[in-house]
C-alpha cells in the first residue's frame, strides 16, 4: 500500500443553518479543501461523498454528490455516494484513502454533508431513527426525541451499573467539551458551564439532560487526499497511518470500536500511548467514556479518565479538542470529516487557542448506527505529521 497524505481540509461551521442548502454547504467545504491544498477541481480524479439523511429530510436522495459537485464544475470522474449512518463521512474518507493507497488514483476528494434541520422537528428525529434496524423500532415512539438517544440512554445506564459512573461524570464530559467548543470557530456551541448547570438542564431521557445529547446540525466537511508525489508545498504534511472500517460482529462477541481500534493500531504500528489527541464519537456524553475504554485510552476505566482531567486541553491526552459532537455539533453525514479536520489542524499546529502542544500523532473514531447494545459501524483513522 502507498503512503496517503491529507493535502487539504475545510469545513463549514456546524450549526442549525436552515437557510443553507446542501449544495451551498458542499461548495464551501469542497472549495475550501481544494484551496487549502493549492489545487483546483481539475486535479480531482474521483470523489466519495458521505451523507445520511438527505433523502428523508430534503428529498434529495441517491445522487447528492453529483448534484452538489456539478455546480463547482466537477464532472466526468467517478462520484460515489456513501452512506454509513453517522459514520458516512469517515467511510467516504476511508474509500478515498483506499483508492490512493492501492494505486487506483492520486488525488481523491472525500466529502461529508448533512442538512438535519427541518421546519417539522419530528422529521429530523425520525430521520435519525433510520440508523437502527427498523424492525427493532417500537411502534409507539416517544415524541420530541430520537429513538437512537433512547438506545444510548439504555447503554449509559448499563455502563453506570458496571463502571460506577455517575451523572456527574457525564456532566464532566459536557463541561470539558463545551469549553473546547468555545475555542473552536467551527463549533455549534461552546460555553462555560458547570456540572450543576448540566445536571439542572431539561431531562431528555434518563440519565441524559439536554446538553448530554448531541444536537441537530447542518454542515459539511471535505478533504483532498493525495499520493506522495502530489504532497503540497508549504503545508506541514499530514500522513494517514491507518484507516479501518468495521461492522459489529453478528454474534455480539466484541465491541465494534475495539475491533476497529485494534486493527488501526496494528496497521499504524503504534499503541494507544502513542496518541497525542483524539476525536471520539460522543453522540451522548456517556459514549465518550465507553469509547475511550474500547480504544485502550483508559487503562483505569473511563470514569477515572474523565475525573483525572487527563482528557482536558492541557491534559495527558486531550479528547475531543474540537468540542466533540456535543459542542462542535453533529450533522451526522458530515461529522466524520469534522473530526478529521480537527485532528489535521492539530497536527499542523493550526488549532489556535485549543492547540494541543506537540501533537505529532492523532486519531479519530466515528461511530454509526446501533444494534442491541453497541454501534453497528465504527471507523478509526490515525494520522501523523512528518
Residue numbers of the site for its own copies (CB under 8 A)? 1, 23, 52-53, 55-56, 58-63, 66-67, 69-85, 88, 91, 94-95, 98-99, 101-104, 126-127, 129-135, 244-251, 259, 368-369, 371, 376-377
**Looking at beta carbons only, is 184 or 375 nearer to its own copies?**
375
Alpha-carbon dihedral sign for residues 348, 354, 356, 361: negative
The minimum distance between CB 25 and its own copies, in angstroms, equals 14
Is the CB of residue 351 less than 8 Å from the CB of residue 31?
no
Those residues whose C-beta lies under 8 Å from the C-beta of residue 162, and which sit 6 or more positions away, are none
Which of 86, 213, 277, 292 is the catalytic position?
86
The minimum distance between CB 321 and its own copies, in angstroms, equals 28
**Looking at beta carbons only, is 143 or 250 nearer to its own copies?**
250
The minimum distance between CB 253 and its own copies, in angstroms, equals 9
C-alpha separations of 303 from 169, 206, 210, 241 in Å:
7, 19, 21, 29
**Looking at beta carbons only, is 86 or 351 nearer to its own copies?**
86
Place of cell 455516494: 81
C-alpha separations of 216 from 22, 276, 287 in Å:
15, 29, 17
What is the rounded distance in angstroms from the CA atom of residue 383 to the CA atom of residue 252?
29
The minimum distance between CB 126 and its own copies, in angstroms, equals 8
**Looking at beta carbons only, is 132 or 183 nearer to its own copies?**
132
> By CB neighbour count within 10 A (0-12 exposed, 13-18 middle, 19+ buried), where does 243 fall?
buried
Q: How many Cβ atoms from other residues are within 10 Å of residue 18's Cβ?
A: 10
How remote is the C-alpha of 348 from its chain's centroid?
Answer: 19
What is the rounded distance in angstroms from the CA atom of residue 300 to the CA atom of residue 208?
24
What is the rounded distance in angstroms from the CA atom of residue 225 to the CA atom of residue 242?
14
Name the helix (H) or strand (E) containing 131.
none
**Looking at beta carbons only, is 93 or 170 nearer to its own copies?**
93
Of 90, 181, 96, residue with least CA distance to 364: 90
Of 89, 118, 119, residue with least CA distance to 9: 89
The minimum distance between CB 293 and its own copies, in angstroms, equals 19
The CA-CA-CA angle for residues 294, 300, 302, to 5°, reads 50
Q: Which three cell numbers stand for residue 210?
A: 439536554
**Looking at beta carbons only, is 254 or 304 nearer to its own copies?**
254
**Looking at beta carbons only, is 73 or 144 nearer to its own copies?**
73
The minimum distance between CB 314 and its own copies, in angstroms, equals 36
Active site residue 86: yes
The minimum distance between CB 132 and its own copies, in angstroms, equals 8
> By CB neighbour count within 10 A (0-12 exposed, 13-18 middle, 19+ buried), where does 189 fall?
buried
C-alpha separations of 132 from 102, 138, 368 in Å:
32, 11, 9
**Looking at beta carbons only, is 14 or 147 nearer to its own copies?**
147
Active site residue 371: no
Which of 94, 179, 281, 330 is the catalytic position?
330
The minimum distance between CB 345 and its own copies, in angstroms, equals 27
Catalytic site residues?
A: 86, 330
Amino acid at each position: 500500500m502507498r503512503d496517503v497524505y491529507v493535502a487539504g481540509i475545510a469545513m463549514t461551521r456546524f450549526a442549525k443553518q436552515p437557510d443553507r442548502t446542501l449544495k451551498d454547504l458542499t461548495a464551501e467545504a469542497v472549495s475550501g479543501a481544494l484551496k487549502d491544498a493549492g489545487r483546483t477541481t481539475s486535479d480531482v480524479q474521483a470523489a466519495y461523498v458521505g451523507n445520511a439523511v438527505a433523502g428523508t429530510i430534503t428529498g434529495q436522495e441517491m445522487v447528492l454528490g453529483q448534484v452538489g459537485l456539478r455546480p463547482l464544475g466537477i464532472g466526468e470522474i467517478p462520484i460515489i455516494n456513501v452512506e454509513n449512518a453517522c459514520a458516512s463521512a469517515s467511510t467516504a474518507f476511508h474509500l478515498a484513502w483506499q483508492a490512493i493507497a492501492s494505486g487506483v488514483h492520486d488525488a481523491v476528494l472525500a466529502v461529508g454533508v448533512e442538512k438535519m434541520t427541518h421546519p417539522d422537528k419530528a422529521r429530523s428525529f425520525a430521520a435519525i431513527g433510520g440508523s437502527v434496524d427498523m424492525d427493532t423500532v417500537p411502534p409507539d415512539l416517544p415524541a420530541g426525541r430520537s429513538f437512537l438517544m433512547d438506545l444510548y440512554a439504555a447503554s449509559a445506564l448499563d455502563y453506570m451499573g458496571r463502571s460506577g459512573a455517575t451523572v456527574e461524570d457525564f456532566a464532566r464530559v459536557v463541561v470539558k467539551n463545551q469549553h473546547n467548543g468555545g475555542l473552536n470557530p467551527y463549533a455549534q456551541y461552546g460555553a462555560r458551564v458547570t456540572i450543576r448547570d448540566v445536571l439542572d438542564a431539561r431531562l431528555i431521557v434518563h440519565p441524559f439532560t439536554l446538553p448530554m445529547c448531541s444536537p441537530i446540525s447542518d454542515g459539511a466537511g471535505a478533504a483532498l487526499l493525495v499520493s506522495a508525489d502530489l504532497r503540497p508545498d508549504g503545508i506541514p504534511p499530514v500522513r494517514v497511518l491507518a484507516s479501518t472500517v468495521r461492522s459489529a460482529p453478528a454474534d455480539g462477541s466484541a465491541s465494534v470500536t475495539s475491533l476497529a481500534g485494534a486493527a488501526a493500531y496494528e496497521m499504524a504500528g503504534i499503541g494507544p500511548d502513542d496518541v497525542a489527541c483524539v476525536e471520539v464519537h460522543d453522540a451522548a456524553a456517556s459514549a465518550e467514556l465507553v469509547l475511550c475504554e474500547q480504544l485502550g485510552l483508559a487503562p483505569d476505566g473511563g470514569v477515572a479518565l474523565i475525573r483525572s482531567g487527563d482528557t482536558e486541553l492541557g491534559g495527558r491526552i486531550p479528547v475531543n479538542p474540537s468540542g466533540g459532537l456535543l459542542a462542535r455539533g453533529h450533522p451526522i453525514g458530515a461529522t466524520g470529516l469534522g473530526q478529521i479536520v480537527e485532528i489535521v489542524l492539530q497536527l499542523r499546529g493550526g488549532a489556535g487557542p485549543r492547540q494541543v502542544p506537540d501533537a505529532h500523532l492523532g486519531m479519530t473514531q466515528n461511530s454509526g448506527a446501533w444494534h442491541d447494545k453497541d454501534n453497528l459501524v465504527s471507523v478509526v483513522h490515525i494520522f501523523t505529521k512528518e
